[in-house]
A and B are shown apart, each in its own frame.
Chain A
């Protein structure tokens, strides 16, 4: 079974800190790597995504770093705010449309 392993399971940072969430994958056929943010009681929403031919992508305070040779990618949140407190999921997609999610990271940003 294709897997995407995500860590840590939970993360607590102070306001202004830079939480980092890591993911690793096994299947080299994955070619699209999105990150989703989920607030309690809501469905996930796309935060940022990257393709494997790019090593880094930045959108606002959110940055994805991608290491193709190590089959790892990570999400960095710059200048984190209490409003960023949510559950974050990494995911990896095949061109067939099959999407595999990591197990999620619950982020708490303290004021």
Chain B
């Protein structure tokens, strides 16, 4: 089944404790992206990747890191999480950057206390 998977689905952590949210797709998509969703703000793009070893900042990259060492994986790293990073995070992938449907993962709900 073609899908985007994220792990963990739920995470509660404390301020400053490094964490990684994994994202994997099995559709051989070139483009992958991370978003955060907050009430009243819609989805905001954090980072995106056009292909392996190519990553770019979205609208809200501060406090996040990403890497794209393999085509299928695009982990999101929070080196020192803060409470303002409490949010619902979505990973997405598509065949190419534009003009193609983005397939979203199921989401990761992160709480930073």
Contact = CB atoms under 8 A, between A and B. Distances in A.
Interface of A: 1-2, 6, 9, 31-32, 34, 41-46, 49, 51, 89, 93-104
Interface residues of B, number: 26
28 contacts: A9-B40, A32-B99, A42-B107, A43-B90, A43-B106, A44-B43, A44-B104, A46-B101, A46-B102, A49-B101, A51-B99, A89-B42, A89-B43, A93-B98, A95-B98, A96-B56, A97-B31, A97-B56, A97-B97, A98-B48, A98-B56, A98-B58, A98-B59, A99-B48, A100-B45, A101-B43, A102-B42, A103-B41
A41 B105 CA distance: 11
B42 A6 contact: yes
B42 A99 contact: no
Contacts of B68: none
